[in-house]
Copies of this chain bind each other. A is one copy, B any other.
């Protein structure tokens, strides 16, 4: 039998050492910032009960959930009538009890309800794990990808929204990516719907507005009229979406326009307060009120946030907002919260496009000791252990192969230094250390090696 060519499912990826070290750079940065702000980590299992996930992401979402086949004799547990229907959705509900998580939000809601009695509220949690979606794979869209979420639940304070601005600003400034944070408030949009006389069409209006970036205002106009808004109403709305000026100016204009809408004025006052708190410790990046930002997801009820790269034209790098009822679906009503989610894969693509990964990522061993044979190896081994005890990553080539082969190993693995000890070095109780970049070689005492390394890694 011919061996099949090994591969992996489409939309999934292997990560090699260089990619892992670059991804760690992203994950560590986000994790570190979350922790600086007092967020605490949780993790949930890759598989949830199917009933936990189904019905939470809309019909389209349900279809994208990866279901796990029950083990054992699963067909015997299906009634004959059902089996003969050969109906995919009916049968999958009979032969699958578990599914892979589709996002981190629903598992978090389930976690909060399940463990509510041991959680201290407000609960500031972060969670960085893979999620799986049976989406059509395409450039930048994977079936296994990684989310980095943080939420504060059980607190209505707008100081939380402001804290997330600080967090976003810190993450991207540490990653050396220029971004704009776009913020809006669903209550302002509700106020606008009232203002133009169509408060009952709020969902249609936000869905259409949300596409402005992609299809332009002209097409948004057409869509709104198609969806039953009058031309007069749309003519009132569009100029508001086109408002220019600073966020402050926009807020002032809206305060006149929406003065008769209670919800609209509430939204404006909320966004003003977020700006006020953020101003206490100013951001590095731009924070901008964007009235076209609407976010498709209907569970947002207050602030909504999206982060865009200034230099790379790509979807949002981070998004989030406030929701009023995270856990109601699991029987615990009234838990309000606000959260953000960083998309690690897209951030990776931006850092790649801008060549902004630090040089050191991808470097593992700092020293390769050349293996000249048993005696020389045994002379070097204690030195390597000594270096490890002060944190130096180093290795000995496992066998006395040709020097050229050992040097190539150092070269291909980006190992910056090679350690050698032959008859002469052993007699003098020294080691020859060769800088692979410059070719410089010097004889050193063991204690001097770390100094050379330190100088190298500082420069």
Instruction: Give the CA-CA distance A246 to B49 in the complex, in Å.
Output: 53
Bound complex: CA A96 to CA B67 (Å): 10
Chain A 368-405 interface residues, beta-carbon cutoff 8 Å to B: 368, 371, 377-378, 381-382, 385, 388, 391-396, 398-399
Q: How far is the CA of A391 from the CA of B364 in the complex (A)?
A: 25
Are B40's CB and A9's CB within 8 A?
no
A251 to chain B, nearest CB (A): 19
Taking the closest CB of chain B, its distance from the CB of A12, in whole angstroms, is 4
List residues of chain B with CB within 8 A of the CB of A8: 44-45, 48-49, 52, 110, 114
Q: Is A74 an interface residue (CB 8 A)?
A: yes
Indicate if the CB atoms of A398 and B17 lie closer than 8 Å: no
Which of B46, B98, B156, B277 is within 8 Å of A46, CB to CB? Answer: B46
Q: Which single residue of chain B is at the shortest CB-CB distance from A11?
A: B45
Q: Tell me which residues across on chain B come within 8 A of A413, comparing CB atoms.
A: 40, 120
Q: Report the stretch among A81-89, A227-235, A291-299 that lies at the interface.
A: A81-89
Task: Name A9's contact: one of B37, B49, B74, B170 (CB within 8 Å).
Answer: B49
Q: Give the residue among A12, A76, A409 with the most B Cβ atoms within 10 A.
A: A12
- Chain B nearest Cβ from A85, distance in angstroms: 8
Q: Determine if A71 and B75 form an interchain contact, defined as CB atoms under 8 angstroms apart.
A: no
CB under 8 Å from chain B, chain A span 68-106:
68-69, 71-76, 83, 86-88, 91-92, 95-98, 100
A76 to chain B, nearest CB (A): 7
List 9 extra interface pairs beyond A46-B100, A83-B86, A163-B396, CB under 8 A. Answer: A9-B98, A14-B111, A14-B114, A16-B118, A64-B71, A155-B399, A157-B398, A277-B381, A280-B378
Selected A-B contacts with CB under 8 Å, 29 pairs: A3-B329, A6-B330, A8-B44, A8-B110, A9-B45, A12-B45, A12-B46, A14-B44, A15-B44, A16-B42, A16-B118, A36-B391, A36-B393, A36-B394, A37-B393, A38-B393, A38-B395, A46-B46, A46-B132, A64-B71, A67-B69, A69-B95, A73-B88, A74-B88, A75-B87, A155-B399, A156-B399, A159-B396, A170-B388
